[in-house]
Amino acid sequence: MAADPTPADPGLSVDRDPFEGVVEIGWRAASFAPLFPVLAGRIVADGSGLQLHGVYAPPGGGIGLLIDQALLHYFARRTATWFLDRLVEEVVASSRPPGSDR
């Protein structure tokens, strides 16, 4: 499954600190969309790190909601944590001067 991350607002609203701000996000599966959840939310950056706030709709209607409550919410949280970890890695890597190892 390929994810289709779609910024809800392509702009970044930045507060006084250049490392603080909010980015609206959303994603859905690029293929077989009815089989995967849909997410709408925002990434919040502040002095303590990144947070993902949002809601998602599990696939499968009412039955999907029951299955999500029993099990799938665990995978959704793990996916969100993985996503934020990768995002932090990319931000840190892109902030290093060219040619530096760390």
pLDDT digits (tens, 9 = 90+) for 49-61: 888 898 888 888 8
DSSP helix/strand/coil, 80:
helix
Distance CA 95, CA 97 (A): 7
pLDDT digits (tens, 9 = 90+) for 17-51: 555 788 898 988 888 888 888 889 999 988 778 88
Q: Tokens 């970890």 sit at which residue? A: 85
Q: What is the pLDDT of residue 102?
A: 58
* CA proximity to 23, closest of 3, 4, 2, 50: 50
Q: What is the pLDDT of residue 63?
A: 92
Q: What is the pLDDT of residue 15?
A: 41
